Amino acid sequence: MKLHRKEICPIHRSLFCCGREQARKQRRRWAQVQRIEDPHHPRGYRERRSPAEMRRLLNRKIIEQNGRCGICHKLFTDYKEIVPDHIEPKGMGSARRDDHPENIQAAHRKCNLEKGSKRARRPR
């Protein structure tokens, strides 16, 4: 008789025995930066960044902004409260999102939530 995937083997008391392996999740591989052609965009293309690449860009933006929020211009005190903010938002979701470095600024989570999908002033 064949054991089900989550059924423990009564002989070995294990899920990984008798030549049976659990189905492993396939890890989704992201391209670091995806360039999406968009004739309606001023540059002619948009960029989408992977979460790891976005984190690297955010760290660079924190240094460029001298450790200050791009919206309220106060100093950052906690790294967990810093999020990337899109200066020119393109609505909800990722269908029209542009992660180009000129369009990203570091901001407090609270400031970003208050701003919502409105356009804010350019960072200093």
Residue-wise pLDDT tens digits, 24-67: 666 777 678 888 888 888 888 888 888 889 999 999 999 999 99
Which pLDDT score is estimated for 63?
93
Domain-embedded: residue 43 = no
Q: How many domains does the chain have?
A: 1
Domain-embedded: residue 117 = yes
Whole-angstrom distance, CA of residue 94 vs CA of residue 97 = 5
At residue 2, what is the residue type? K
Domain-embedded: residue 79 = yes
Question: Looking at the DSSP assignment, which residues form a beta bridge with residue 106?
Answer: 84
Token pair recorded at residue 21? 């392996």
Range of the domain at 101: 54-124
Q: Summarize pLDDT for 68-96 with one digit per residue, the tens.
A: 999 999 999 888 899 999 888 876 555 67
Domain-embedded: residue 60 = yes
Residue 100 CB neighbours (<10 A) = 19
Domain-embedded: residue 47 = no
pTM score: 0.67
Burial profile 70-89: b = 16 or more Cβ within 10 angstroms, e = fewer: bbeeeebeeeeebebbbbeb
Domain-embedded: residue 70 = yes
Whole-angstrom distance, CA of residue 96 vs CA of residue 61 = 22
